[in-house]
């Protein structure tokens, strides 16, 4: 207990030392808790060996709720003003958790979602100028992949604070990375992220689900680093598996993990599969895959194809794989047919033979 309170004390000392001490003496006189009063009457040059003991005594005199207050202060510093741009399916889904964690939320979208925003305690802005003038700490780009460039260009970024943090959650990563770096002023921080889950797959919480991020550009000063960490901490606190990787590496993996999954889900949907009285576990997995993938917009799926250069190759491989499996089946069938045709070995038994 003692050691934990000591470490918390050290953690906060450099930034807000005044919080750790009793109030300073009022002008013109010392309070009963003031350091000058406390030391009154002692010899001015106390022996050096005595000093550490006195400092320990000061530590022991911390108010009884010191730890609670310190934790509250830390919590306060972690709180962010987040502007969500693109307040659709996924933007709203993220907003619910941000709101629960106590962050201040602003939102902007093409459609007026002000009624829904109000239910989350978020302020909705139809005009992006008004949103930017609120000086959010973080602007979170959660618009569709296809509209991201136009939406970003429509934002009056000159109205934001000079070193605002921009974060995107697009399901492809190299495209927004290049877009943000080329469109934003060099003073802005940029983190590209991809929560690898959605409203369907994370219905029961985010615990254990992968969250990919790339700190593309975070200014080298404590406040900017702390802001970046505070943002990432939102996902860490929910139990996400934090995966730091480059945007290029993400896209190479995501072609398989995501585009393949969505493609198979959409192909199965074309078959209009129905639940039956004899569903196997495997079949139920297929039905769930259809639900998980087809509840996302076609724009999202199209974006995975258009804006990930690895997707075309994946589609070709999928086609090749289907052909290979079919070929194996038909080759086997041809073998049987050839045997029947050329060796006559598969003649159906005659009825007289059966009787005998
Ligand atoms: P989405 O269809 O990809 O995006 C919908 C959002 O984009 C809405 O806010 C919509 O505005 C906006 N939008 C679409 N076309 C627009 C246009 N022409 N001009 C301006 N805004 C436009 O669906 P989503 O599921 O909400 O995904 C949002 C982002 O999160 C995407 O980049 C997606 O890749 C990413 N993401 C989604 C998931 C998921 O599971 N859904 C998971 C991880 C990442 P309105 O509000 O006006 O409709």
Nearest Cα residue to atom 4 of ligand 1: 144
Question: Residues 279, 282, 286, CA angle at the centre, nearest 5°?
Answer: 90
Ligand 1 nearest atom to the CA of residue 303, by list position: 34
Q: Answer whether 151 contacts ligand 1 (Cβ < 6 A).
A: yes
Quick check: helix, strand or coil at residue 212? strand
In whole angstroms, what is the distance from residue 16 CA to residue 18 CA? 5
pLDDT tens profile 121-166: 999 999 999 999 999 999 999 999 999 999 999 999 999 999 999 9
Q: Answer whether 299 contacts ligand 1 (Cβ < 6 A).
A: yes
User: Phi first, then psi: what are they for 30, rounded to 5°?
Assistant: -85, 145
Q: What is the model's pLDDT at position 30?
A: 32
Q: What is the model's pLDDT at position 342?
A: 87
| Domain layout of the chain by residue ranges | 77-245, 254-339
Closest C-alpha to 230, from 11, 79, 104: 79
Q: What is the model's pLDDT at position 58?
A: 54
Query: What mean pLDDT do residues 274-286 have?
Result: 97
Q: How far is the CA of 191 from the centre of ligand 1 (A)?
A: 18
In DSSP terms, 257 is beta-bridged to none
What is the percent of the chain with per-residue pLDDT over 70, rounded to a whole number? 77
Q: What is the model's pLDDT at position 345?
A: 57
Residue of 108, 115, 144, 174 to test ligand 1 pocket, by largest number of atoms within 8 Å of CB: 144
Ligand 1 nearest atom to the CA of residue 171, by list position: 34
280 pLDDT higher than 60: yes
Ligand 1 nearest atom to the CA of residue 91, by list position: 26
In whole angstroms, what is the distance from residue 126 CA to residue 107 CA? 9
DSSP states along 148-204: HHHHHHHS-GGGS-TTPEEEE--S--HHHHHHHHHHS-TTSEEEEEEES--TTTTTT
pLDDT tens profile 177-211: 999 999 999 999 999 999 999 998 899 999 999 99
In whole angstroms, what is the distance from residue 234 CA to residue 170 CA? 17
Q: How far is the CA of 94 from the centre of ligand 1 (A)?
A: 12
Element (H, E) at 281: helix 281-294
Q: Is 129 in contact with 159 (CB distance < 8 Å)?
A: yes
Tell me which residue has tokens 């089946």: 329
Q: What is the model's pLDDT at position 355?
A: 45
pLDDT tens profile 78-95: 899 999 999 999 999 999
Q: Answer whether 200 contacts ligand 1 (Cβ < 6 A).
A: no
Class of the CATH domain delimited by 77-245: alpha beta
Q: Which two tokens stand for residue 53?
A: 């003991």
Nearest Cα residue to atom 21 of ligand 1: 110
Residue of 83, 85, 88 to test ligand 1 pocket, by largest number of atoms within 8 Å of CB: 88
Residue of 84, 89, 206, 258 to test ligand 1 pocket, by largest number of atoms within 8 Å of CB: 89
Q: How far is the CA of 119 from the centre of ligand 1 (A)?
A: 20
CB burial of 73-86 (b: ≥16 within 10 Å; e: otherwise) equals eeeeebebebbbbb
Q: Is 228 in contact with 215 (CB distance < 8 Å)?
A: yes
In whole angstroms, what is the distance from residue 54 CA to residue 49 CA? 10
Q: Is 70 in contact with 8 (CB distance < 8 Å)?
A: yes
Ligand 1 nearest atom to the CA of residue 196, by list position: 43
Q: What is the model's pLDDT at position 64?
A: 74
In DSSP terms, 241 is beta-bridged to 210
Ligand 1 nearest atom to the CA of residue 172, by list position: 34
Q: Which two tokens stand for residue 132?
A: 């930017």
DSSP states along 80-110: -EEEEES-SHHHHHHHHHHHHTT-EEEEE-S
In whole angstroms, what is the distance from residue 354 CA to residue 115 CA? 79
Quick check: helix, strand or coil at residue 278? coil
Q: How far is the CA of 146 from the centre of ligand 1 (A)?
A: 9
Q: Is 202 in contact with 171 (CB distance < 8 Å)?
A: no
């Amino acid at each position: 207990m003692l050691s934990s309170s000591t470490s918390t004390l050290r953690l906060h000392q450099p930034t807000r030392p005044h919080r750790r001490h009793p109030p300073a003496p009022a002008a013109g006189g010392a309070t009963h808790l003031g350091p000058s009063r406390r030391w009154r009457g002692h010899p001015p040059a106390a022996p050096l060996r005595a000093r550490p003991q006195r400092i320990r005594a000061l530590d022991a005199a911390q108010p009884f709720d010191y730890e609670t207050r310190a934790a509250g202060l830390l919590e306060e510093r972690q709180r962010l003003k987040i502007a969500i741009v693109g307040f659709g399916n996924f933007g709203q889904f993220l907003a619910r958790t941000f709101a629960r964690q106590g962050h201040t939320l602003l939102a902007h979208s093409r459609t007026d979602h002000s009624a829904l925003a109000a239910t989350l305690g978020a302020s909705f802005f139809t005009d992006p100028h008004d949103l930017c003038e609120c000086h959010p700490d973080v602007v979170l780009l959660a618009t569709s992949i296809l509209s991201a460039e136009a939406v970003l260009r429509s934002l009056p970024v000159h109205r934001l604070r000079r070193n605002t943090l921009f974060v995107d959650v697009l399901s492809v990563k190299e495209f927004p990375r290049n877009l943000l770096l080329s469109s934003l002023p060099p003073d802005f921080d940029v983190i590209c992220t991809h929560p690898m889950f959605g409203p369907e797959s994370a219905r029961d919480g985010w615990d254990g689900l992968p969250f990919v991020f790339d700190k593309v550009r975070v200014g080298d000063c404590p406040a900017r680093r702390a802001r970046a960490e505070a943002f990432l901490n939102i996902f860490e606190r929910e139990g996400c598996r934090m995966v730091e990787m480059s945007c290029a590496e993400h896209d190479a993996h995501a072609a398989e993990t995501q585009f393949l999954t969505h493609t198979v889900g959409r192909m199965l949907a074309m078959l209009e599969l129905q639940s039956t009285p004899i569903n196997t576990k495997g079949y139920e997995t297929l039905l769930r895959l259809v639900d998980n993938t087809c509840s996302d917009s076609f724009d999202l799926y199209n974006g995975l194809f258009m804006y990930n250069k690895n997707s075309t190759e994946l589609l070709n491989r999928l086609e090749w794989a289907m052909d290979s499996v079919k070929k194996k089946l038909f080759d086997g069938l041809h073998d049987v047919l050839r045997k029947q045709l050329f060796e006559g070995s598969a003649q159906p038994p005659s009825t007289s033979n059966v009787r005998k």
